[in-house]
Amino acid sequence: MVATHVKRAFKYRFYPTDAQAAELSRTFGCVRKVYNMALAARTEAWTLRAERVNYNATSSMLTAWKKTEELAFLNEVSSVPLQQCLRHLQAAFTNFYARRAQYPRFKSRKKSRASAEYTSSAFRLQDGELTLAKMSEPLDIVWSRPLPEGAKPSTVTVSRDAAGRWFVSMLCEDPSVKPLPASGRAVGVDAGLENLLTLSTGEKITNPRPERRDRARLVKAQRSLFRKAKGSANRAKARRKVARIHARIADRRQDHLNKITTRLVRENQTIVIEDLTVRNMLKSGTLARAISDAAWSEFRSLLEYKAQWYGREVIAVDRWFPSSKLCSACGALLHRLPLHVRTWRCRCGTIHDRDVNAAKNLLAAGRAVTACGAGVRPQRSTPGGQSATKQEASQREP
């Protein structure tokens, strides 16, 4: 069911002054330092004394750290991002204890995302100008789209990516997000590599292969980076060049997937996809690069949250369902269908396009799931007769 008011993050690029960039860089460093110290303290408390340290305890630790001479520099930045990183650490531990995530990891200066989150008490948004705490001038934001009318951001997150680009993300309620009129239409979607998506209607959406388009430029930049001396200014410059190419690839891919998922959600009431195990498929040495470039997991993630926003339904059919080998006309099942075979003839005389046939079978399986009242993601039964979901849940019970 769609919430009455959906919170959305509106992300914009901005160009800081030298003073603002220096202040934000200091804030990023302090946030990382506090997060790592709190994580170390919580880990030590559990390892040595079997004691669980909560957010309130780490907040008291932060107050004590600020009073020491060694960590006095923490007072130079806004205290709000420091408190927020402790809340994020608490959420990470909550997810870990609930078996939803792995144990929290320490933040790296080189690899971790540089970001800082400000709550409403640490920023001012007035007349289209955003001013953060400890700053006298507003940020030079490129307003690529307007915020919802009357929106008041609850949090503002400032970040810098590996390519050196600065972004500000504002979280606010968007009253325009509400269920769309029911269309009654349903579509099966088969993911692939040659064609990114094949619909049960017969339409094929071409795979733009954003990584392949820039592969030669990326290889050249990576080789140049490899030749630079570690720690040199030239190496840092070459690293940013590689990061800019990766950012351009990711932006193209994200833009394409957003357009496709928005269109599917607007046009169809029910969307049936296959429950692919992308993580295991990436272990294939020959197809891993192409599968990563297709970003099937990102496609599903975008599709599911947009369907939730707009009152649509996404059904994920069991990964073991033989969608490609099953004749959508008569139901006959082939014993073997190699990957290079793109069309095949059934004994009933029907000639199938492999991908279109798979999409049609997925649609039929999704309708069966809906009619039988089964779950959104049917699970393969284990040898003991217990579903994988129930078996996993029983294993997690103390």
Q: Shortest CA distance to 354 belongs to which of 317, 320, 316, 325?
A: 325
Cα–Cα distance between 252 and 249 in angstroms, integer?
A: 5
Counting other chains too, the contacts that 349-352 makes at CB distance below 8 Å and 24 or more residues apart are 352/327, 352/328
Among the residue ranges 35-39, 96-100, 367-371, 392-396, the one predicted with the least confidence is 392-396
Name every residue whose Cβ is closer than 8 Å to that of residue 67 and which is 6 or more positions away in sequence: none
Whole-number percent of the chain with pLDDT over 70: 92
Whole-number percent of the chain with pLDDT over 90: 70
Q: Token digits for 253?
A: 């891919």
Neighbours of 313 (CB within 10 A): 15
Amino acid occupying residue 228: K
Could you tell me the pTM of the whole model?
A: 0.82
With 90 as the cut, is the pLDDT of residue 333 above it?
Answer: no
pLDDT of residue 381: 35
Q: What mean pLDDT, rounded, does the chain reach? A: 89
With 80 as the cut, is the pLDDT of residue 8 above it?
Answer: yes
Active site residue 355: yes
pLDDT of residue 394: 36
pLDDT of residue 200: 92
pLDDT of residue 379: 38
If residue 173 lies in a helix (H) or strand (E), which one and from where to where? strand 166-174
Eight-state DSSP code of residue 314: E
Q: Are 307 and 261 in contact (CB under 8 A)?
A: no
Among 173, 211, 274, 304, the one annotated catalytic:
274
**Helical pair 79-97 and 18-49, crossing angle rounded to 10 deg:** 40
Active site residue 190: yes
pLDDT tens-digit profile of 111-137? 899 999 999 999 999 988 999 999 999
pLDDT tens-digit profile of 132-176? 999 999 999 999 999 988 889 999 999 999 999 999 999 999 888
With 50 as the cut, is the pLDDT of residue 388 above it?
Answer: no
Cα–Cα distance between 50 and 124 in angstroms, integer?
A: 43
Average pLDDT score over residue span 71-87: 96
Q: How many angstroms separate the most distant Cα atoms in the chain?
A: 83
pLDDT of residue 196: 94
Eight-state DSSP code of residue 233: H
Average pLDDT score over residue span 234-257: 95
Among the residue ranges 39-48, 212-221, 257-266, 270-279, the one predicted with the least confidence is 270-279
Active site residue 251: no
pLDDT-derived band at 4 (thresholds 50, 70, 90) equals low
pLDDT-derived band at 68 (thresholds 50, 70, 90) equals very high
With 50 as the cut, is the pLDDT of residue 397 above it?
Answer: no
Among 190, 211, 293, 304, the one annotated catalytic:
190
pLDDT of residue 229: 95
**φ and ψ at 142, to 5 degrees?**
-90, 105
Cα–Cα distance between 231 and 211 in angstroms, integer?
A: 28
pLDDT-derived band at 283 (thresholds 50, 70, 90) equals confident
Among 23, 173, 211, 355, the one annotated catalytic:
355
pLDDT of residue 331: 85
pLDDT of residue 396: 34
